[in-house]
Amino acid sequence: MSAAPSITIVTDKAKIAPVNSKDRPFPLEWTRNIGIAAHIDAGKTTTTERILFYSGAVHKMGEVHEGTTVTDWMEQERERGITITAAAISCAWNASCGPWKGIKQRINIIDTPGHVDFTAEVERSMRVLDGAVAVFCAVAGVQPQSETVWRQANKYGVPRIAFINKMDRTGADFFRAVSEMREKLGANAHPLFIPIGKEENFSGLIDLVQNVAYIFDETKDPLGMNPVTSPIPAEFTAQAKEYREKLIEAVCDFDDVLAEKYLGGEEITVEEFTLAVRKATISMKFTGVIPGSAFKKKGVQRLLDCVVSYLPNPLDLPAMKGQDSDGKEVEAVVNDKAKMAGLAFKLWNDPFVGRLVFFRIYTGTLPKGMSLYNPRTRRSERVSRLVLMRAMDREEIDMAYSGDICALVGVKEVITGDTLCDEDFDIRLEPPSFPEPVIAMSIEPNSKADQEKLGTALQRLVAEDPTLRVKTDTDTGQTILAGMGELHLEIIVDRMKREFKVEATSGKPQIAYRETITVAAEGEGKFIRQSGGKGQYGHVVVKIEPNEKGKGVEVLNETVGGSIPKEFIKPATEGIVEAANNGVVAGYPVVDVIVRIIDGSFHEVDSSEMAFKMAGIFGFKEAMKAAKPILLEPIMGVEVTTPEEYQGDLIGDINRRRGRINGMESKNGACIINSNVPLEMLFGYVTDIRSLSKGRASASITPSHFEQVPSSLLTKIVETSSKAPARS
């Protein structure tokens, strides 16, 4: 087992680490950058609202069902009761226990969407967070999008704790939810607290680290401000002892001192236990779990204590790595006194201040008015204003420091994932990566005036959203929008109407098919033109082979003996990549192939870059035609939760949609059907299953993989491909 990062806890202002600027309002040791992430309807936004209330950031709790939450500020979010865009907000918290008791900590929070259509918001948020709170429903347990956000946190190395929400709901089961975390997520999950009662009898928490109980009284304390701290009730003593022993054994793997004391039968102090849990959490190999009910105002204060006690500050984590202009590894070490570097992780068009660039500073300080260098554009831009975000509201600041998440005003030529740094700091940080769109539709402006506004609106929306793609179909002249799902595109069209006053008509969504090959083949491309004077000559021989899934298109130069001069390899490669954008089956992008340039020839006078680019295109097309190409369609993972009396009807409906049932399970009187269904068959699916179940069934749909289109449907798709321009 790898050693956990070293932890330095500073509780005395006189001992603040030398990396802190003397002017910063909160030292780095007392700063937490966290995200709230979960499946849709697990209670992320309600949990965030309670955090803001208990920390004093707001004076009235907002409710999702009333459309009064701080972080769901968009009109569409409040109307639909869902989170669409990740909202950043800051608060402060005085821990009530442990080494940080009485020390005010700054907590920067990002509340992320749960719906799979807005997964890009989670992806880019995870890229810049230091820690996360994964929220689970105590009734539903681990759901499909829970698994997605968990994988995203693993991908970016984000330590996390878990909050099992909705403990007051009928069917809530804390220990089953913990068990599902272990089984479905592979998490080393252990309760830090255990609940006192459940469902309507959920009345308190037992703190396994401090060995005390917190009792809630809804009558005397309806806002949950002052839970009563008491000894553990007698009927829970044995259970608390059992789970405390399990917790100690689990964290002993991460703290040798604690392990020695435990094995020697010595008493373990609360501070030692707290630090051991913190080390275990930051190692990414342990997840502490807290039960609660955000809606009923139970357990959120203890969750805040755990955020401060167990999630890392910027100093606890390894330095962020990047590359210099030569491709060598460079580190951005957290230090206010170092050169400045940070990552632009989100763009947003604010109606009052214009473009906002959400920015995470990894090292150095950023004063208002500073010029920042962008290694991608090789240009410097001046930051005219600096703001701290409070969801839709803004607080003007003069200086931002290492570890801060802020927004920049004034920088123009910036896209999501850009590094911005001091001009003499040669570094490019790794940007977040985003999934490819799976669905597309046409959009037509209703008037000439709308045509002009449409271009501006799409330009801004594409800059904001890396999973939104726009292109003009060369055959029909239509503008095509490609995105992550029906809801994603619906929201985009709605935003164009509300924010940019664009009246447009959208077409039926189309599927983003892909093409690939099944066998290896060779192809020869020649481009020869002779019409008096200097001619054109390019000749390329390529070999194409199937590649691993998810690898895209890889082009390798394997020519020998200078058969193609070095300066013509690049244009030949560009031609191959361009040709792969439109396959030979139905004109859809080609994926998962290796193309090897194995031979060719050139002419001393007539060869040119353009000729070799065309030769690359022709060679790729010929090789692909010979490689038994196939068409692939996106397959979605569909999880349907339904009362058992509708199970047969819903399974029959899935079968009619060319679906494949993967398994079924019963949970709290409901049947959960797991299946894979082609995306083409899922338009309007949620509405249809509500009709079949009288509104009592629900579905969760997530991208799964691509599969070969059945031969019975291939002809139809090829014939209509010119009318279904879902190519990205």
Domain boundaries, the chain: 13-314, 323-429, 439-512, 519-627, 634-708
Higher pLDDT, 561 or 111: 561
Residue 252 has pLDDT above 80, yes or no: yes
Of 127, 161, 179, 143, residue with least CA distance to 40 = 143
- What is the tens place of the pLDDT at every residue in 9-32? 444 444 455 787 788 888 888 889
Indicate the helix (H) or strand (E) that contains 372. Answer: strand 371-374
Residue 475 has pLDDT above 70, yes or no: no
Output the CA–CA distances (angstroms, integers) from residue 384 to 278, 346, 372, 595, 604, in the order listed: 39, 18, 11, 47, 54
pLDDT at 213: 93
Residue 415 has pLDDT above 70, yes or no: yes
Place 86 in a pLDDT band, splitting at 50, 70 and 90: low
Place 447 in a pLDDT band, splitting at 50, 70 and 90: confident
User: Average pLDDT for residues 154-165, to the nearest whole number?
Assistant: 93
Residue 580 has pLDDT above 90, yes or no: yes
- What is the tens place of the pLDDT at every residue in 173-225? 999 999 999 998 999 999 999 999 988 899 999 999 999 999 998 888 888 88
Q: Does domain 439-512 have CATH number 3.30.70.870?
A: yes
pLDDT at 382: 92
Q: What is the mean pLDDT of the chain?
A: 84
Q: Does domain 323-429 have CATH number 3.50.50.60?
A: no
pTM metric for this prediction: 0.72
The CA angle 486-685-295, to the nearest 5 degrees, is: 80
Do residues 602 and 538 lie in contact, with contact meaning Cβ atoms separated by under 8 Å? yes
**13-314: which CATH topology?**
Rossmann fold (3.40.50)
CA distance 438 to 434: 12
Which alpha helices (DSSP H) does 313-354 contain, by range?
none
CA distance 615 to 143: 49
Output the CA–CA distances (angstroms, integers) from residue 326 to 198, 323, 330, 427, in the order listed: 58, 8, 10, 10
Do residues 535 and 574 lie in contact, with contact meaning Cβ atoms separated by under 8 Å? no
Place 268 in a pLDDT band, splitting at 50, 70 and 90: confident
CA distance 602 to 23: 65
Give the lowest-confidence range in 101-115, 524-538, 596-610: 101-115
pLDDT at 392: 57
Pairing state between β 371-374 and 405-409:
unpaired
CA distance 676 to 434: 22
**Most confident option among 66-75, 149-158, 571-580, 695-704:** 571-580
Residue 363 has pLDDT above 90, yes or no: yes
pLDDT at 399: 92
509: CB partners within 8 A, 6+ apart: 439, 440, 441, 486, 489, 683
Indicate the helix (H) or strand (E) that contains 471. Answer: strand 469-472
Taking residue 95's Cβ as centre, other Cβ atoms within 10 Å add up to: 20
What is 519-627's CATH number? Answer: 3.30.230.10
Q: Which two tokens stand for residue 298?
A: 């139970």
Q: At what angle do helices 237-252 and 256-263 cross, to 10 degrees?
A: 130
Two domains, one topology: 439-512 and 634-708: yes
pLDDT at 15: 43
Question: What architecture (CATH level 2) is domain 634-708?
Answer: 2-Layer Sandwich (3.30)
Output the CA–CA distances (angstroms, integers) from residue 142 to 65, 147, 163, 185, in the order listed: 23, 7, 12, 8
pLDDT at 468: 86
In this structure, which amino acid lies at residue 313? N
Residue 238 has pLDDT above 80, yes or no: yes
Higher pLDDT, 326 or 383: 383
In this structure, which amino acid lies at residue 523? G
pLDDT at 2: 36
User: Average pLDDT for residues 388-407, to the nearest whole number?
Assistant: 81
With H, G, I as helix, E, B as strand and everything else as coil, classify residue 503: coil
- What is the tens place of the pLDDT at every residue in 92-140? 888 776 667 777 888 888 877 656 667 777 787 888 899 999 999 999 8
User: Average pLDDT for residues 152-164, to the nearest whole number?
Assistant: 92
* Phi, psi of 484, deg, nearest 5: -90, -5
Taking residue 268's Cβ as centre, other Cβ atoms within 10 Å add up to: 16
With H, G, I as helix, E, B as strand and everything else as coil, classify residue 602: coil
Residue whose token pair is 């009730």: 233
pLDDT at 84: 56
pLDDT at 74: 52
User: Average pLDDT for residues 553-571, to the nearest whole number?
Assistant: 91
CA distance 29 to 17: 8
Residue 275 has pLDDT above 50, yes or no: yes
Residue 522 has pLDDT above 70, yes or no: yes
**Most confident option among 439-453, 577-591, 677-691:** 577-591
Using the 8-state DSSP alphabet, how is residue 403 labeled?
T
**Most confident option among 40-44, 300-304, 393-397:** 300-304
Taking residue 154's Cβ as centre, other Cβ atoms within 10 Å add up to: 15
> Where does residue 666 rank: exposed (0-12), middle (13-18), buried (19+ CB within 10 A)?
exposed
11: CB partners within 8 A, 6+ apart: 99, 100, 103
